[in-house]
Each structure stands twice: as C-alpha cells, then as structure tokens.
Structure 1
Amino acid sequence: MDLQYQYRKRRVTLDRKNEFRFGEGKISGYASVFLGALSLLAVLAYRYPAYLTTIELRQVYDAEFLQQILKYGMYFSLLFGVLTFIFGRHRRMGTAGISLTLLGFALGGYNIPVGPVEPVRLSLGVDWLILAFLGSVGVFMTLEKLFPKYRNQVILRREWDLDLFYFCFNHLAISAILIYGNYHASHFDWALSPAVHDVVQGVPIWLQVVLIVLCADFVLYWEHRLYHEVRWLWPVHAVHHSVEQMDWLAGSRGHFFQVFSERALVMIPLYLLGADKTALDIYVAFAALQAILIHCNVRFSFGFLRYIFVTPQFHHWHHSSEKPAIDTNYSAHTVLFDRLFNTYHMPGQHWPAEYGTTVRLPRSFIGQLLHPLRAVQKMRRSRSVG
C-alpha cells in the first residue's frame, strides 16, 4: 500500500437515458431482440451443426434437451416483442425481435432432427456463444444487479456494444483458438515425460487441479507481465485495458493477437503435465468463470480467499489507471506470483477511482485492431528521429 497516495472513492453518475426501468418497454425490446437473435443462431446451429458448433462442446451437452430451452426462448422473444406494442414504446426493437424469431421458425424452429454430426474441425462456435452468453447474463449480470459495487452503473454503460462485439467474436472463434493452441503446444513434444505423466495421474484429482492452476498461473503471470513491460507488446494489451467501466462484459475486450497467444501459451503446461481429462475440465470451468467474475461490478470481498485467489477487487486494481496500481496484479488465478515477484497491490478496503489507460485508445473495434500497428510505427519513427 502506497502511504503517500491519497486513495479516492469512485463516483458513478446514474445514466438515466440508458437505464432500464420497468413499464417503459425498453426491457422488453432488448429481451425480444437478444432472444430472437440467439434463437435464430441456435436454429442455424441445429441446421448446420458441423460448421456452427464445436466438437468439444457437442460432447458435453444434450442437443435434444437444449431444443426445449430453444422453444421457450423463441416464444418469450415473441411475447416480449408484443409487450413493446402494448407499452407503446421501443416498437422497432420489438419488431426486430419478432422478425428474427419468425425467421427462426421458418428455418425449422425447435423441431430440426438431431443426429450424428460429420467431423469438421474448424467451425464457428455458435453453440459456445449462445450458452456462454445466457450463462453469463443469468449468473453474473444477476449478481451485479443484486450486489453491485457501483449501484449507479447501468447495464448499457458506455461502450457495452463494443465489448459485446468482442464477446461474440472471441466465442465464435473458439475452434480456431483451440486448434492454434493445440498446434502450438505440439511443438513441445520433445519435452513430454511419461514418468511425469504417471506421477501426475497417480495423485488425486483435486491435487491435479491444484497443480494445473499453479502451472497455468505461472505461465499467465509472466505472459501478462511481458505484455505490460515490453514496450512494443503493450499496445496490444492496452486494448484490454482501454475499458473504463468494469462489468462481466469488460473482460471480453482483447486484441485477437493476445487472445490467441494467451491460449497458446497456457496450453503448454497443461500439455506437459498430462493430467486426467476430468482435472483439465475442472480447470477450464474454473478459469472461465473466474475470468468473468474478476471483471464484474460486484462488491464481494471474499474474506480470507482474497489472500489466495484473484478476486474482483484485486483485478480491478490491475485495470486502474492510478499511479500506485500501474503494472501490478498480473496473476490470473492466485495471488502467489504477484507476492513472490513484488507486483502485488491490494490497499486494504480501497477500490480504484479510475479505470482505463493513461492515454486513451480509439473507441472502435477497427481502431483498436489497428492500434498496435500504428503504435509500433510511431515508436520506429521516434527512434529514427532520435
């Protein structure tokens, strides 16, 4: 804790224009559009499963059961669309939601036969996108509304649509990310040790999970630290840090170069350990949930667990643009390596007053996509002039 720094409380002004209020039709309009869009995507995934679903996820869920969920989603989309006409406001959104749902019905709705799927390795992860979005909204958005750190922060906060685009892009690209990660890890075949695999698989599953978490965290810590402290890598990672209001969706913002490299690097320790599939599945679920939670707008302190695991308060400080927090809290899962390498910053009960980068980045997807190239070009020009 920096004793010289004056920590301030964050002030969030209620954005009444973008606030959701009951009885205005706005909630119904957005619900109709999102349920309509997700329903249409689900129908297309059932119609073209080889190209729009992921092999790994298909092995986990019951496609016929999810069709029942789809049925209710389609009917609720229609219901919410009709409500916008009853309220007399946001009718365009209601019309859009109804239209998307009716198109889904025209393409087969929830009655498309489910059968064997031809093995196509590279596909769009539409199923992963739908399930992740519904799960995140149902769990994390609910937590943010029930236990908010900043009560005045609205769901439709600034740049929520940009982060939603990142969310969709990253989830649709899951197959390509996995293929790249596995391909990258396969280059370390020379380091595989059957003896290590035997030892790891010989210990209880819970201990295997602990080993995976620690090994992955070590790699992610140094990968994350390099992105901060290597000058020409920072512009890539700065895209993730350009978020100025934290919530469950904020963690989705990230340059595709970092998303692919991060997944590829973390695959290496998982590949070399050779742990049981059950342990790997537990780790993947834990890592995915924690990655969303630590960006959430929730006020939980987590008690003694905050001295072991990365929590929202810990990671919010990593996203702070305040001087004492810059280049701290690199860990993804536990606080161990920040403690060991003196990059830990957790000033008591204080939370950040400011988020984002010290130099503001472009606010569009294309602008942020090109930002690293432009930043590197600027560095080269300044070096040649110097």
Structure 2
Amino acid sequence: MSEYQYQERQVPRDRHSEFRLGEGKISGYASVFLGGMSLLAVLAYLYPSYLTTTELRQLYDAEYLQNILKYGMYFALFFGAVTFYLKKFRMMGFSGMALTGTAFLLGGYTIPVGPVEAKRLSLGVDWMILAFLGSVALFVTLEKLIPKYKNQVILRKEWGLDLFYFCFNHLAISAILIFANYHISHFDWAISERVQDSISNIPIFIQFALIIVCADFVLYWEHRLYHEVQFLWPIHAVHHSVETMDWLAGSRGHFLQVFSERAMVMVPLYLLGVEESALNLYVAFAALQAVLVHCNTKLPFGPLKYIFVTPQFHHWHHSSEKPAIDTNYSAHTLLFDWLFRTLHFPKGHWPAAYGTTKKLPQSYLGQMFYPITALLDQRKTTSSRSENP
C-alpha cells in the first residue's frame, strides 16, 4: 500500500463575511451581542431561582458582576450609535440599542441582589453568559493572533447553528447535573472508604493528575464506542458534521451524547472521592481544553503536544481523510490512544478536510432526529438486501 499523500487545507478568502474596520459590521454585531447578553443578565438578576445555576452562584460575586453589566450595557448603546454614524448596519445597531433599552426598563444594573431560593431545575443563563464572554475574549483573540488558517472568518458557515448548540448546552447545565448525579448514585456499591481516604491524603496536584487519567480512560472508551458501535455512531456523527474547526465547533453535539458524556465522566470522580479543590481544577482544565482543541490556532505546545491533547491532535480526529477516521479518541492526554493503537499524529501535517463522509442535515432539528432517520435508513437497506440476495 502506498504512503498516504497529505495535502494542505485551502481556505479561500471570504470578503463578504469578514470584519473590517470602518464598515459598521463590527459595531453592529457588538451592539446586538452585548445588548442581548445584557438583557439576559438582567432577567437572571430578576429571576435568579429560575435563570441561574446554584452551583455556579457560589463561585462569583453577583454585585461585582453588576458593574461589568453596567459597562456592557453602555458599550452596547455606544456601538449601536456608531452604526448610525457610519450609516451602515444601522438595523443591527438599532436592535442592540432596543435590547439594551429593554434591559434598562427592567431595572438594568441596579436590581437588588439578595438571597436566592434554590430550585432543583433552572436554566443556566448566568453560566451561558459568562462562558460566552470568556470564550470570545480568550479564544477568538487566540484565533486572530495565532491562527492556523488566516483566511478563516469568525462568521464561518454554520456559525449560527453552532451558537445555538452553545446556548442550548449551557442553558441545560442544571438538567445535565441532575442526570449526572442520578447516574452516579447507582455506583454507591463501588465506593471504597479506604481508597477515598488514601486519595484525600495525597497532594492536590497528584489528585488532579489522577482525575485527568481516570476521566480520560472513561472518555476514551465512551468516545470509541460512539465511533465503533453502529447504532451509536449517528448520535456522535452530529458532532463530527462540523466542516470548519474553531472555538465554537466543539459545542455541536447531540443532547444524548452531551448528557451521557457528562454522566459517565462523573463516575470516576465520584468513586475517587477527591478534594473539592482538585475537582475544581479538573473542571476548569477540562472546560478550557474542550474549547481549545477545536480552535483554529497553531499555538506551539512544544513537547507538551506529545502528552496532552492539542488542536493539531484533535483536528485529526475530526478529519474525513481515510487515515484519520476512527482515531484519536482521547479527551485529555495521548496515553490511551498510544496504548490501544488508535493514535494518528503525522508530524508536521494538519487535516485538509473535516466533517463526515456522509453529509448530515444542516438544521438543529434535522440533526437531532438524524439518529432516528439513519436507523430507519439502515433497516430499509437491510430489508432490501434480504429481499434481493
């Protein structure tokens, strides 16, 4: 068999979707996004029991964030005014100002902050806002300063679909946590107090490293099953249908996979009985890495790229090229792909093509029902073969 010939990915310049200074497009989008985020934040302050996450509220100062909200609202108005000055994208500017005006009418950044009655199920509006603003500030900046593909635009094809996935998955955080806690409650029989006591006495950093390895083992095999078990693949195919990799691409995922993935990774963390500080370190590490590995960046990692999962490694997992299909399952380290011989990491090469070999629907509902339609298609094919041997 001849050696595979790797090709360079070609990304043509998309002038229509580019952001350029002086056109009003940057101001228009900034006004809409800041206005929308401001309105959602005000609603979260008005109805914290229903629109904020109990676990997350313990980690931030609500009064301090109101100061940030104040600046966000005024900047939304400012950017909206800029669109009128430039006489372009004025409808977007007007929309951003209207959203912000509504936020002011509802109380703005002056809503009193007090005790919050915890609800078992709520929408994670606070989690979504903080995650979105933090991701844009960190990862979009990274993609613009150290891009792998300079011509790739922020508003690439299907970015709106992936933004919807981002919002849905963050808003559903409470439901995901409830399901995960219910799932791990079935593993009480496996708890060993002696093991947990031993782990709690080792240094936090070693606990953190142990969590990474154990979580990675579970995620590796879950990920591999989604690829190699026929009836599971259509669920995971939704995540692989992304054809342009960036910070938002990792958000695309069928809700069945999102729920099962979070539930399964909680099992080793529950059984280990690690300290809360080590667990918090892992949650932060996993959240950042999950976004980073999908980024459009050639950030150099030096020898660390042979230890931890990086963008170049994970991009190969999303490649539709034959040598890369069903490889690189690991989420955190390269350890288990190396051990179980599923590693594909050609030196100096990046994928030329991403996505699935069979195209999926390009709408949210189409992708949510894709596992069902794919199963029906498989049955029709099987039935047809049996009738026509």
TM-score normalised by the chain length of structure 2 = 0.98
The offset of 1:269, in angstroms, is: 0.5
- SS of the aligned residue for 2:284 comes to helix
Cα deviation code 1:262-299 (max 9, x no counterpart): 00100110110000010000000000000000000001
Instruction: Please show how residues 115-264 of structure 1 align to structure 2 within 5 Å.
Output: 115-264=114-263
Distance 2:2 2:80 in 1: 55
Alignment of 1:334 onto 2:329: no
Distance 2:348 2:195 in 1: 42
User: CA RMSD for the aligned pairs?
Assistant: 0.8
Distance 2:103 2:186 in 1: 43
The offset of 1:300, in angstroms, is: 1.8
Alignment of 1:60 onto 2:56: no
| Long gaps (5+) in structure 1 | none
The offset of 1:221, in angstroms, is: 0.1
Distance 2:31 2:300 in 1: 35
Distance 1:128 1:337 in 2: 31
Match of 2:35 in 1: 36
Cα deviation code 1:129-177 (max 9, x no counterpart): 0000000000000000000000000000000000000000000000000
The AA in structure 2 aligned to 1:274 is: G
Distance 2:143 2:283 in 1: 23
* Matched-pair contact (CA < 8 Å) for 1:45–1:52: yes
Residue 113 and residue 178 in structure 1: after superposition, are their counterparts in 2 closer, same or farther (change >3 A)? same
Cα deviation code 1:205-238 (max 9, x no counterpart): 0000011000000000000000000011000000
Cα deviation code 1:77-113 (max 9, x no counterpart): 0000000000000000000000000000000000000
Q: After the TM superposition, which of the residue ranges 232-241 and 374-383 deviates more from structure 2?
A: 374-383
- SS of the aligned residue for 2:202 comes to coil
The offset of 1:3, in angstroms, is: 6.6
Match of 1:372 in 2: 371
Match of 2:19 in 1: 20
- SS of the aligned residue for 1:16 comes to coil
Distance 2:300 2:59 in 1: 33
User: What count of residue pairs does the alignment treat as equivalent?
Assistant: 385
The AA in structure 2 aligned to 1:364 is: S
Distance 1:303 1:179 in 2: 39
Distance 2:311 2:157 in 1: 20
Distance 1:48 1:82 in 2: 30
- SS of the aligned residue for 1:153 comes to coil
Distance 2:19 2:43 in 1: 30
* Matched-pair contact (CA < 8 Å) for 1:301–1:313: no
- SS of the aligned residue for 1:18 comes to coil
Distance 1:344 1:90 in 2: 47
The AA in structure 1 aligned to 2:155 is: L
The AA in structure 2 aligned to 1:207 is: I
Distance 1:277 1:252 in 2: 26
Distance 2:317 2:378 in 1: 25
The AA in structure 1 aligned to 2:64 is: F
The offset of 1:377, in angstroms, is: 1.2
Match of 1:89 in 2: 88
Cα deviation code 1:333-362 (max 9, x no counterpart): 000000000000000010000000001100
The AA in structure 1 aligned to 2:257 is: Q
The offset of 1:119, in angstroms, is: 1.3
Distance 2:374 2:382 in 1: 12
- SS of the aligned residue for 2:320 comes to coil
The AA in structure 2 aligned to 1:117 is: V
The offset of 1:382, in angstroms, is: 2.1
Distance 2:199 2:210 in 1: 9
The AA in structure 2 aligned to 1:322 is: E
Distance 2:300 2:260 in 1: 31
Distance 2:70 2:344 in 1: 48
Distance 1:201 1:188 in 2: 19
TM-score normalised by the chain length of structure 1 = 0.99
* Matched-pair contact (CA < 8 Å) for 1:212–1:283: yes
Match of 1:312 in 2: 311
Distance 2:250 2:284 in 1: 16
Distance 1:169 1:14 in 2: 31
Distance 2:348 2:186 in 1: 45
Distance 1:3 1:39 in 2: 57
The AA in structure 1 aligned to 2:254 is: H
Match of 1:291 in 2: 290
The offset of 1:380, in angstroms, is: 1.8
Distance 1:4 1:28 in 2: 49
Distance 1:288 1:214 in 2: 16
| Long gaps (5+) in structure 2 | none
The AA in structure 2 aligned to 1:305 is: L
